Structure 1
Amino acid sequence: MSSRHPHLPLPPAVAPDWALFLDVDGTLLDFADAPGDVAVEPGLIDTLAILHGRLDGALALVSGRNLAQLDALFAPLHLPAVGLHGLERRDDGHVEQHARAPALDGVLASARALAAKYPGARIEDKGIGLALHWRGAPAAEEPLHEFATSALIDLPGYHLQPGNRVIELRPDGANKGAAVLDLLALPPFHGRRPVFVGDDLTDEHGFAAVGSHGGFGILVGSRQPSVARYGLHDPAAVRAWLDDSIA
């Protein structure tokens, strides 16, 4: 299958002066029906380790997953990372996290009861927020959307974040782009050309952030419109592009 994006040109190879920000699900990794079922392709961890070294540490994962999940997936790597769409951030060993809302436990129990009516639907407790997945149960999309909207009454200061067959309940005040801008103010990212690779609507904040600092976005998949300058067909194409960049 072609690595080309249907609307955008292929990106150049990773350059040594870049600060590289990589989304995970749908970008580095292929989607699975349940978040815990994703697989890290053989060789990807070695490729990331090599790139991390060549960029003098200026490579970060930027994900909707939490930091603990990212570390488990990419062990033994312990990369700079943004988790939960910006609600967690780790740079140079320092970790910043938002607090969990007390009302979230009751919302979680109700969400799980609803999902149980739709085999294949999943409720993911992210600690600070919740993700309601219907990739394995398309019929659950509308009821999960309605539930998430109504749950905002009990969660002041939260909002809905739509994604690829998922909707999340998450606190206000953070997104991937804001977290990327925070990292760009710090070594080893400061002063480099920032590049963000992602697939989802949540990654548009990242594309805009790097664009404001002389960089560009790389969109994975065929979603349109996007402010990304370049594109790749799917996660397999992303992995091949990264491999080619270290060859």
Structure 2
Amino acid sequence: MTLTIEEIAQTRNFLLVSDFDGTIAGFSKDPYSVPINQKSLKAVKDLSQQAATDVVILSGRHLEGLKQVLDLGQYRITMVGSHGSEDSSRPRTLSQDEETRLARIEADLEKIVEDIDGAFVEIKPFHRVLHFIRVSDKATIQGILAQAAELDTSGLKVTNGKNIVEYSISSTTKGSWLKDFVSRTDPTGVIFIGDDTTDEHGFEALADNPRALTIKVGSGDTAAKSRVDSVDDVGILLEKLAYHRMQYVENARLGH
């Protein structure tokens, strides 16, 4: 049986984990000027101030880039970037071999995009990302993808997302990060929300957890237990969650 928002809000130790792009923010051709849903933003801020409540933003963006678009430094919210590879509480560095592999794929990708307006390569600490959201011609996009498919990607994990292809040196996924975090913190109730293919790892990781509610944003096949249609619907859902959680914390006197 799938838990309702009201039911999962009424738990001793609650954890909310949300993706950013496509979940609490819409998309834009300028990745540093995306429309953030204000209901979602207020809800995560309100939730972060409740006792026995943890809030995590788990994004594919690199950590510094995430902080640029979502400044929540004054709130008790954990920011995790690069699909879990960049956790500010557990930093790690690249080996020389990993740096070499990333440099090689970066050079190969730059050759693909050098003469294509709107296509570019994003550099993250553990990833290189081929972007083509600004490319309007479908034939050009198909050409980009065809060239990318022929690259030597040995030692790298390749993920196709929305208007991107990502090349990662890290084996960490949102699923492996979630499993580890849930194991360490042992929440009695969990919600994970996301919209993209990379979020499916998280849905799968929590599939057998009876205390977890996983929510897919948008259409398409999914391992999530529930679904909403849009970023606006996420805002409504999180607003409802924050209300019920605040009521429960107050009535149960969890902060006392």
- TM-score normalised per structure 2: 0.79
Tell me which of 5, 10, 35 is aligned to 1:12: 5
Q: For residues 139 and 121 of structure 2, what CA distance do their matches in structure 1 show? A: 15
What one-letter code is carried by the residue in structure 2 that aligns with 1:159?
Answer: K
Matches within 5 A, 1:166-205: 166-187=164-185, 190-205=186-201
Unpaired runs of 5+ residues, structure 2, are: 244-256
Equivalenced residue count is: 231
Residue equivalent to 1:146: 146
> Cα–Cα, structure 1 residues 229 and 55, in superposed 2: closer, same or farther, change >3 Å?
farther
Work out the CA distance in 1 between the residues paired with 2:195 and 2:86: 20
Hey, what's the Cα distance between the residues in 1 that align with 2:146 and 2:21? 25
C-alpha separation in 2, matches of 1:95 and 1:71: 17
- Other-structure match for 1:220: 217
C-alpha RMSD of matched pairs (Å): 2.5
- Does 2:29 correspond to 1:33? yes
Matches within 5 A, 1:111-122: 111-122=109-120
Deviation at 1:11, TM superposition (A): 5.6
What is the CA deviation profile of residues 168-222 of structure 1, one whole-angstrom value per residue up to 9, with x for unaligned ones?
A: 01125211000001111223xx132222101111111101112232213101001
- Residues 38-89 of structure 1 show CA distances to partners (whole Å, capped at 9, x for unaligned) of 1334454332121122363421111111111222222133622332112222
SS in 1 for 2:9: coil
Letter in 2 for 1:184: V
Q: Secondary structure at the match of 2:32?
A: helix
Q: Which amino acid in structure 2 is aligned with residue 229 of structure 1?
A: K
In terms of fraction of residues, the more helix-rich structure is: 2
Residue of structure 1 in register with 2:78 after alignment:
80
Summarize the Cα distance change of 1:135–1:55 in structure 2 as closer, same or farther, 3 Å threshold. farther
Separation in 2, partners of 1:212, 1:55: 27
Shifted more, 46-55 versus 201-210: the winner is 46-55
TM-score by length of 1: 0.82
Distance 1:101 1:143, change over 3 A: farther
Larger Rg: 2
